[in-house]
Amino acid sequence: MKFNRALIIVAFAALFISSVLYCEGSSNGNQMVDSGSFGVFMQGQRVATEKFSVEQNPNGSVITSEFKSDQGGQKAEQSSELQLTANGELRRYEWKETSPGKTQAVVTPGQDMLTERFTNSPQDKPQEKPFYLPASSSILDDYFFVQREVLLWRYLATSCHQEGGALKCPQGQKTQFGTLNPHARNSSPVEIAFSAVEKLQIHGTERELSKFTLTSDSGDWSIWVDDHFKVMRILITSDLTEVVRD
């Protein structure tokens, strides 16, 4: 598999492949690596929207997301902020539900473990749950699809290589990552593998996209990215769910 970009620096120490992505700089040294929204569809009907941003700074990266759903008169709103160090390890993760419940959770790293502190309402006393996972583990929370994009960048940086000025990934060869789902309060391994280059219709335009498969205990997710390594489409066959970049 080849990506049609001449300049690629695979450096997970910076987490993102910044020489490939078009980043918007600012006076304080921050770079906007990616931002936008994903539409979530079930059986062709839009049921939710995720607005997200991925910003890189001299000390690391910050990934923010807002998820809103209004299905059948029932509203659901959640937000998250994932802070990573310059070498891609977890610094802090915060997740909040504002509707219909008021659940909150914060995950921080410690020595050889991650600790999740959570409450089901603002009046509750915080509870703690430890996970014996390293800080290098990836956060893959429910409803925040941009976190799958960040994990895919990690796969590209650690499992693919440069050849002839292009990035090549081994076809069908799976790479395993440890992950934590704070919303479900459980951890599990996932695997990512490159599948093929395919032509798909995205918003009425035919695009040539690279397809990857993310495998977990809950099944397979198909993920398509463009030549800027940005997720354009996710298909969750088991849930009859499609996610498309707006």
pLDDT above 90: residue 142: yes
CA atoms of 129 and 131, how far apart (whole Å):
7
pLDDT above 90: residue 25: no
Mean pLDDT along residues 122-126: 86
pLDDT above 70: residue 18: no
pLDDT above 90: residue 116: yes
- Structure confidence by residue, pLDDT tens digits, 97-114: 999 889 999 999 998 899
- Structure confidence by residue, pLDDT tens digits, 51-86: 999 998 888 899 999 999 987 667 899 999 999 988
Task: Please report the pLDDT score of residue 70 as a whole number.
Answer: 82
CA atoms of 71 and 89, how far apart (whole Å):
35
238: exposed, middle or buried (C-beta count within 10 Å: 0-12, 13-18, 19+)?
exposed
pLDDT above 90: residue 1: no
Residue labelled with tokens 């002839």:
164
Query: Which DSSP string corresponds to 50-116?
Result: EEEEEEEETTEEEEEEEEEEEETTEEEEEEEEEEEETTS-EEEEEEEEEES---EEEEEEETTEEEE
Residue 158's nearest CA partner among 136, 179, 139 is 136
CA atoms of 116 and 109, how far apart (whole Å):
9
Task: Please report the pLDDT score of residue 158 as a whole number.
Answer: 85
Task: Please report the pLDDT score of residue 16 as a whole number.
Answer: 41
Q: Do the strands 175-181 and 138-139 form a parallel or antiparallel pair, or are they unpaired?
A: parallel
